[in-house]
Amino acid sequence: MRLPEQAPSFRDMLRDHGLVQDLPRILGAGIGPLVEGRYIHWDSLRHRTRPADLSHRQWWLGIAFAREPTLRSIGLVASDGRQFRYSLPDPVLELLHWIDQHAAGELVVSETIKEPGDRQRYLVNSLIEEAITSSQLEGASATRPVAKEMLRTGRPPRDRGERMILNNYRAMTELRTLSTKPLSSDVVLDLHRILTEGTLANPDAAGRLQRPDEARIHVAAGDGTVTHVPPPAVELPGRLDAMCRFANGEGPGFMHPVVRAVLLHLWLGYDHPFEDGNGRTARALFYREMLAQRYWLFEYVSISRLLLKAPAEYARSFLYTETDNFDATYFLLYQLRILRRAIEELQAYLVHKMEELRETLSLLHRTDLNHRQVALLTNALRHGQAVYTIRSHAQSHRVTRQSARTDLADLARRGLLERGVVGRRFDYYPASDIRARLAAGAARRA
């Protein structure tokens, strides 16, 4: 992986006598913090066509002058003592406003996902999706269908990748509870333990920080290039306490809650305090913070799936921050764009599901089926080879096994499902002519 070129430091440029002599001309050029509406990094700027009569360094100094007064400290200190800072240029403000409109408050969830049964089902689907893709980002090799089958049927994981996914699912289900209490070191360590138990080469490393007597973990790209050297292990307890104080809002001034959640993700990613599982823990902390700030739609949003599609861009957002004097605006902008895309995809998914549901309901007009049975039949119409078990049905809708058993037995009695026996387990399959049976039933009722 090619590392971005280190951006010239604002302070170093001010020590350059030649640049300082040109300051009146540079400032007179009316340069702002953005280039064509983008918060651009030096590594990209140096390849662009520069303004007339300005060198690339002079252009960069003009941009740095425009950005410097807007940068705010977040309390995270780099290994060399410099402060992480961020700014709120127009693209950030626009994205924050959009996310507030589409993801904040109980009302949004109520209007988007109206039926309680639908909410439970979509929540389970989202938890499963995030558990799988967050683990795949960290190297889990289990395929999505196999992982979904494991989570829905409740079978034990067969390998480390499946165990990572199961752990991630368990951690995600805990976040609603964890979001109701202040963040503490114990909460972070417990979350890491849940995420990594049974998956580490050193089992003792689950749920604890790296120790000074251990080889410090480094971050490397797929080709072995070291992309990040975290702070020394001796600093980790103090850094974790500082991160928790930041998450709990113990600092001067107001910070937008979505900004805080994204920067919390960055903070743990930079400190990299654990032997393994840092990325999964950082993303889980982001979700916890969003739920704590009442962005309830994020119970149903998966960001890791989008990060997995372009892992190099995810890594580059970290690297741009580190190579431009720890300006976290690059990471903030990237994550906010991911959040917007994730919400838009969820909205499109819900529209599609509502269309499917309307089709099923037209075939089930005036029936006494419950919402769980309607959901299963909607799925069965699309997936004629699907297999349903008491355990998977109970897991999908978070109901007791007895409720699931009653649902499936009733659908089998109506001839909509067929039942088979596998060992001591009943498996249920869509009837081969399920659509015709539903249509015939609808005609009779009409």
**How far is it, in rounded angstroms, from Cα 270 to Cα 312?**
17
Cα Rg, the chain, nearest whole Å: 26
Phi-psi region of 294 (alpha: psi -120 to 50; beta: other; left: phi over 0): left
**How far is it, in rounded angstroms, from Cα 389 to Cα 55?**
68
pTM of the predicted protein model: 0.82
CA-nearest of 375, 172, 183 to 280 is 172
Q: What fold, for 367-445?
A: Arc Repressor Mutant, subunit A (1.10.10)
Mean pLDDT of 317-342: 96
- Return the CATH class of domain 74-348: mainly alpha
pLDDT score recorded for residue 69: 95
Query: Cα–chain-centroid distance for residue 183?
Result: 18
Neighbour order of strands in the sheet with 417-422: 388-389, 425-430, 417-422
pLDDT score recorded for residue 211: 96
pLDDT mean across residues, the chain: 88
Query: pLDDT tens-digit profile of 221-261?
Result: 878 888 999 999 999 999 999 999 999 998 778 999 999 99
What one-character-per-residue DSSP string does 209-234 give?
Answer: PPPTTSPPP-EE-TTS-EEE-PPPGG
pLDDT class for 66, splitting at 50, 70, 90?
Answer: very high
**How far is it, in rounded angstroms, from Cα 230 to Cα 271?**
5
Query: pLDDT tens-digit profile of 377-429?
Result: 888 887 777 889 999 999 888 899 999 999 999 999 999 999 988 888 889 99
Mean pLDDT of 101-107: 69
**How far is it, in rounded angstroms, from Cα 290 to Cα 303?**
12
pLDDT score recorded for residue 120: 60
pLDDT score recorded for residue 224: 83
* Cβ proximity of 4 and 323 under 8 Å: yes
pLDDT score recorded for residue 107: 42
Lowest mean pLDDT among 144-153, 193-202, 426-435: 144-153
- The residues, any chain, with a CB within 8 Å of residue 95's CB and separated by 6 or more, are 333, 336, 337, 339, 340
- The residues, any chain, with a CB within 8 Å of residue 316's CB and separated by 6 or more, are 4, 334
Three-point CA angle 72, 298, 70, nearest 5°: 10
- Please state the domain extents for the chain: 10-70, 74-348, 367-445
